[in-house]
Amino acid sequence: MTTRAKGQGQWALGYREPLNPNERMKKDDDGLNVRARVENVYQYTGFAGIDPSDLRGRLRWWGLYTQRKPGIDGGRTAVLEPHELEDEYFMLRVRIDGGQLSLEQLRVIADISVKYARSSADLTDRQNIQLHWIRIEDVPAIWKALEAVGLSTQEACGDVPRVIVGSPVAGISAEELIDPTDVIREIERRFVGNPEFSNLPRKFKSSISWLPDVPYEVNDVAFVGSVHPDHGPGFDLWVGGGLAVNPMLAKRLGVWVPLNEIPEVWAGVIGIFRDYGYRRLRTKARLKFLVNDWGVEKFRDVLENEYLKRKLSDGPPPVLPERPIDHIGAAPQLDGNFYLGVAPVVGRISGEKLHALADILEKHDLHRVRTTAYQKLLVLDIPPAIVDTVAAELDQLGLSSKPSTWRRATMACTGIEYCKLAIVETKATAATLITELESRLGDVDADISININGCPNACARTQVADIGLKGILLGGRPGFQLHLGGGLAVSAGAWAEDTDDPEAVPVGSLGRKLRGLKSTA
């Protein structure tokens, strides 16, 4: 194995001593252990009693981040100390692997939102639901309520395997050849909360979906449906995607993985990340840097020979649709019922709205909802005779199944309202932008995605939208940097770079930057 000139903190090369404060924090105590302190100590001491290394580190392992103190201008984000930026309230992320929610679970999240989160609830672009204004005193009661219905906040944040993104139509789509839901559940059960993978160099994002209806290229590991000429349906494996600073799209390893082998292969990829991932600098600690340095050939070789101890089959790339699939509107399910995809404005919903949505479901004897990786919602299992009725009732709630192009394809991250890293406001800006575009341009028949981000971390995927807006400082003033022409495989039509593989498939493209188009100051 070739060593890098300067040690990068790779465990497999013998660098076990922490090289930065984050690594030290993780070595001192497993992030998962913070739960006991919340239950036994912090819920009684309140915010003031929280150990700083738990407050700004380990609480993430249970989905908790401190939220931004209101009224601090984005120009001061980088100059203030963490304690000056943070409020005594938390953001709490509920992980929803595969985006699958039952009516009962929806009701519990609505209850928690109203009771403990000032009715806040945002659908994230990784299918989670994020609550705000959470007090540490209330966290044990929230965990109890969530866990009673099979939900969790465990490893929703932190240097761990985050939520697994899946197709919102898994198990109900006529186009799907294999439903990987059971495999997602198996990975959740075996590996989430498992100390084997609770100290990674950084976050680890996964997607497992037969249909290419999730943004798989931005994940550290992605399994996408593909049909092998001899073995039949299985999954094509991609590794090393990630946006933020130094964005990179995932690369195909060229292997075909049958459904039942996904957990083992997933564990192999995350194992490589844990053992060989760079731990010296947080900015270089994502899997994409290792994949970029090694190349796909070496990555596949290490995966097969060191981790799986066997060869994987070569496999074909996935077949991609001509247009992006967001599942908005009514569409038939395999069983003859319909699903209805609706678009809240930039994922913003509320506890009251979630309750009202649950009331509609209950009234029509519907029991399943899905979240999407585009901050949208699907209601499943609607009998054909009542599709229009349900659509009209959801529309009354502001959950339109026939949104304009602008509302349908605009996303926004949390931004300055709650996020300590933000430079600019995002959600309200996006809502205003949608209204302006609707009034000035009307609706247009085109796929134009607009992703608005509060800082360069690109949580709402700045670089892969047709129009990406990213909060930056312009001469010390908060403003947006504009990215144009990004897109993922099905929308970008760009072809894999740095490959002469005749089977190379479109892998999307990263938008080009234009500086300073608009200043918010």
Among 98, 242, 341, 415, binds ligand SF4 (CB under 6 A): 415
Residue 22: strand, helix, or coil: helix
Instruction: Tell the smallest beta-carbon distance from residue 460 to ligand SF4 (Å).
Output: 6
Smallest CA-to-CA distance from 187 within 162, 214, 156, 152 is with 162
Nearest residue to ligand SF4, scored by beta-carbon proximity: 454
Residues 165-224 interacting with ligand SF4 (rule: CB under 6 A): none
Distance of closest approach, residue 418 Cβ to ligand SF4, in angstroms? 8
Among 369, 421, 474, 505, binds ligand SF4 (CB under 6 A): 421
Sorted by sequence, the CB contacts under 8 Å of residue 282 that are 6+ apart come out as 20, 22, 202
Query: Based on the number of CB atoms within 10 Å of its own CB, is 393 exposed (0-12), middle (13-18) or buried (19 or more)?
Result: middle
Over the window 448 to 477, marking each residue x when it contacts ligand SF4 by CB under 6 A and - when it does not, the resulting string is -----xxx-xxx------------------
| C-beta closer to ligand SF4: residue 252 or 470 | 470
Would you say 153 or 453 has its CB closer to ligand SF4?
A: 453
Q: Which is nearer to ligand SF4, 96 or 422 (CB)?
A: 422
Q: Which is nearer to ligand SF4, 37 or 286 (CB)?
A: 286
Measured on CA atoms in the order 488, 489, 490, 495, is the torsion positive or negative? Answer: positive
Interface with ligand SF4 (CB under 6 A), residue from 109, 422, 434, 488: 422
Q: Would you say 168 or 415 has its CB closer to ligand SF4?
A: 415
Binding mask 385-414 for ligand SF4 (x = CB under 6 A): ----------------------------xx
CB 410 to ligand SF4: min, Å: 15
DSSP state of 254: E
Shortest Å, Cβ 297 to ligand SF4:
33
**Toward ligand SF4, which CB reaches closer, 9 or 415?**
415
Least distance (Å) from ligand SF4 to the CB of residue 93? Answer: 11
* CB-nearer residue toward ligand SF4: 313 or 457: 457
Query: With respect to ligand SF4, which residue has the nearer C-beta, 387 or 467?
Result: 467
Provide the greatest CA pair distance for the chain: 67
Q: How far is the CB of 245 from ligand SF4 (least distance, A)?
A: 11
Q: Contact 458/243 with Cβ under 8 angstroms?
A: yes
Please, what is the minimum distance in Å from the beta carbon of residue 126 to ligand SF4?
11
> 218 with 205: CB under 8 angstroms?
yes
- The nearest distance, CB 135 to ligand SF4, in angstroms, is 21
Helical packing angle, 387-396 and 351-363, nearest 10° = 160
CA neighbor of 246 nearest in space, from 202, 298, 303 = 202
The answer to whether 379 touches 369, Cβ cutoff 8 Å, is yes
| Concatenated DSSP letters of 96-134 | -GGGEEEHHHHHHHHHHHHHHSTTEEEE-TTS-EEEEEE
Q: Which is nearer to ligand SF4, 271 or 468 (CB)?
A: 468
Q: How far apart are CA 294 and CA 272, in angstroms?
A: 12
Which range, of 14-22, 213-221, 419-427, 430-438, touches ligand SF4 by CB under 6 A?
A: 419-427
| Total residues in contact with ligand SF4, by rule CB under 6 A | 12
- For ligand SF4, the closer CB: 267 or 412: 412
Cα(495)–Cα(509) distance, integer angstroms: 8
- Name which of 351, 164, 390, 359 is nearest 270 in CA terms: 164
298: phi > 0 → left, psi -120 to 50 → alpha, else beta; which? alpha
Site string for ligand SF4, 341-370 (x = CB under 6 A): ------------------------------
333 scored as a contact of ligand SF4 (CB under 6 A) = no
Spatial CA neighbour of 43 closest among 112, 115, 117, 141: 141
H-helix segments, 156-295: 181-191, 262-276, 287-294
Judged by CB under 6 A, the stretch of 36-44, 144-152, 317-325, 415-423 that binds ligand SF4 is 415-423
Q: What does the binding site for ligand SF4 look like in residue numbers (CB under 6 A)?
A: 413-415, 419, 421-422, 453-455, 457-459
